[in-house]
Every structure is written in C-alpha cells, then in structure tokens.
Structure 1
C-alpha cells in the first residue's frame, strides 16, 4: 500500500471564479473536501506542495491527510483538473473517508518474471490490454500496484482477472466478465513470415489451378 501523504490546507472563505483566479495568482490551488455525510469543505492548497505529490506517481491511489485548522481529514483524491495549455493543477476534489469505508480505485499492474515465460523467450511480445485494474478496496488497504507473474506463459496464452490473486481487502470492480489483462503474442516478424508463407501457398495453388485449367482447355481443343 502507498504511504499516506499529508497536505497542508487553508479554508477557502470566498467562492467564485474571481476568488479562484486570485488564489492561483498567489500560488494556491482551490480544492474541496466532500462526502462522509458532511457538508463540502472548500479549501486551498499550495501548488508547489501539490505538484510534488502529483509527481510521486501514486497520488490518486494514496490516502491524503488534509491538514486543516490543526486537524487531519482523511481523504483520497478523486479528481485533479489541469489547465489545458500549461498542465498546471487548477482544482482538486478530495473524498472524505470514514474508518470502514470502501473506495473504487484504479491500481497499476506490474508484470514480473518475464524471463521465465517461454513465449517471451521465443521472441513473443507481452500485449498489455489493461495497464490498470479497477478495484474496490478497503480505504485503509489500497495497494500501490498489483504484481502479475507471467512465469510459464507461452505464445497465445493470456492472463485473465480470474487467475489473479488480489490482496486482502480488494475485489475487482468488474464482476460480469472474466476480462483479459495481457496476452503473449507472436512477434511482428513471425506474423509477417507466416503471412508471407500463407500468401505464397495461395499463389502456388492459384498457379497450379491455372495450369490445370490450361491443360483441360488444350485437351478439349484436341
């Protein structure tokens, strides 16, 4: 599980676009904490501190302790709006978490033991269909990543969600199908060679058929 992050915040006394623009000019980012059967709490955070946490790569899957007025609010980020040109963060939504709450998150997938895959040793390619898994997790046990072992996989083999052992407290959010996460496929060169061979066989078959038709016509002429 990712370590909890702490983000100092201040209460936002004024709402509206003008107030938000003024905050951004001062290096602050407007935000809101909502959920948990409480009224939404408008806040603002330091842009520099937020950027550092975004740079960890696991901000959206981390518990963020929002420090406000000497108290810590346990949250998870739900949305970060970015400026369309500069990519600067311009607004953040935090979901307030209760002690026993569950949360739906996207957790990245990491593949291990690729050297133990016969298909990859032959030159096959690991075609990743899903780089993240949609999981429902206990709020205090959100995994930072899911490791998938590809030991023994040959060309044509696939990894489905049914074969994945998820950590305690985590379940797949998709339950209506056994979806594919990754497949070991033949390399493009092998595919091309097979295609060329098949094409060559078709050409040869056409030539044989054409020759036979010519012979039939010659016999008919005689």
Structure 2
C-alpha cells in the first residue's frame, strides 16, 4: 500500500492567537517531534487533511510528510477536533526511526461475520474493540488485524490471546499480563427474543391449565 503524503509548511507564529488566525484561513496548526530532534511547528491545508483522514491507514500507518523540500516519515500521535464542527484543529506528528520499535494502534477487521455459527443460531455479534495497540518496528506495522468469527457460536467470545499477530508484532496489552487479555468480540442472544419466546409459549400453557379434565 502506498504511503499517504501530506504537504506542510514551517510556521514561526505561535500561540493561541496565531492558531486561531490559521484556522480561520482553513489551515491546521501542527507539531512535529521525536527521533531525538527538535520539535518544529507546522501548518497544513485543512481540506487536504480532511481528505487524507478519510483513509483508515491515516491513523495507524506511516505517513510521508513533506516539509521545506524534505520528506519525513511520521505517525499521527494525536489529533484534536472542533467540538461540533467537522474541523480538525491540531495534529501531533511523531518522527519515525526505521530501526526503533514504536507503539501504535491498528484497526481490527472482523471476517465472515454474516456466515458465522452465531448468526445461524440467531445470536447477535458484539464488537468490543475496533483497534489494538501493538509494538513493532515501523516496517512491520500491519495494515489491520484480521479476526475470523466464522466459528464463533452463541455464548462464546474471542479474546486477544486467541488471535495470532503477524511476525514481529506484539500486543502491548498482553505484554502487561494475563489480566489485560481483552475480549475482542462476543456473541449472545438478544434479551428481547428470549422474552418473546417465553410469551409465545405462555398461551399454550394457560390453555392447558384451563382445559376441562375428565373425572
């Protein structure tokens, strides 16, 4: 998959007032830091950021940031948004060192859900996680983590420890101990459907109670 590329400009005006002026001009203030280098303040075009962040990879994969004729590999470490407008108000970019392990979040894709055992049993599948935090070298960052739910049945769940991560990729949660073995997905019957079944059986039972008996 090709890298997402963003163009940025260095900015010298700092502070809340300068940031507000930039936002009125449809620009996004940002900061670039990490890899043992000095942090620098940047400006990006808001429309380009909005377009790029529609791609799932924007939040977990290495991006190419072009600044003053130089290309820098980065990860998005934080993004601030307007409280109610569809606006990005600030981005933190982390420089990536190809030889250093990093931590990032990777999206989870659930496979074979519609044909799973749980669905055939009339159960509902519940997603408890949309992303997983992993640790690995930049070259090993997976595009996504696939979780196959084909054999998931009613009353069962799939935990983080049940899936196999790509080579070189470690779950940071599991690295902290077994108590962090998160439930990723589970299947259960809807409570309403059970009540409905009980009520459906009730008239027949009532009729049997009321039927005359022979003496």
The TM tier, using the shorter chain, reads 0.7 to 0.9
Provide structure 1 residue ranges, at least 5 long, that are not aligned to the other structure.
Answer: 205-222
Aligned residue number for residue 43 of structure 2: 44
Provide structure 2 residue ranges, at least 5 long, that are not aligned to the other structure.
Answer: 207-215
Specify the SS of the correspondent of 2:56. coil
Specify the SS of the correspondent of 1:167. coil
Aligned residue number for residue 63 of structure 2: 64
Larger Rg: 1
Q: What displacement does 1:92 show?
A: 0.8
Does the CA contact (< 8 Å) of 2:9 and 2:44 recur in 1?
Answer: yes
**Residue 194 and residue 103 in structure 1: after superposition, are their counterparts in 2 closer, same or farther (change >3 A)?**
farther
Question: Which residues in structure 2 correspond to 1:75-94 (within 5 Å)?
Answer: 75-94=74-93
Aligned residue number for residue 169 of structure 1: 168
Specify the SS of the correspondent of 1:74. strand
TM-score, normalised via structure 2 length: 0.83
Tell me whether 135-144 or 71-80 shows the greater mean CA deviation. 135-144
TM-score, normalised via structure 1 length: 0.81
Specify the SS of the correspondent of 1:162. helix
Write the deviation string for residues 34-77 of structure 1: whole angstroms up to 9, x where unpaired.
Answer: 11111101111111111111122331112111101111111101
Does the CA contact (< 8 Å) of 2:98 and 2:137 recur in 1?
Answer: no
Specify the SS of the correspondent of 2:110. strand
**Residue 195 and residue 108 in structure 1: after superposition, are their counterparts in 2 closer, same or farther (change >3 A)?**
farther
Aligned residue number for residue 25 of structure 1: 24
Alignment equivalent of 1:185, drawn from 188, 193, 203: 188
Between the two proteins, the alignment pairs up a number of residues equal to 199
Specify the SS of the correspondent of 1:53. helix
- CA distance in 1 between partners of 2:24 and 2:188 (Å): 51
Specify the SS of the correspondent of 1:151. coil
Q: What displacement does 1:130 show?
A: 1.5
Does the CA contact (< 8 Å) of 1:3 and 1:62 recur in 2?
Answer: no
Aligned residue number for residue 159 of structure 1: 158
- CA distance in 1 between partners of 2:12 and 2:84 (Å): 28
Aligned residue number for residue 217 of structure 1: none
- CA distance in 1 between partners of 2:73 and 2:130 (Å): 27
Q: What displacement does 1:189 show?
A: 4.1
Provide the aligned C-alpha RMSD in A.
Answer: 2.2
Does the CA contact (< 8 Å) of 2:10 and 2:42 recur in 1?
Answer: yes
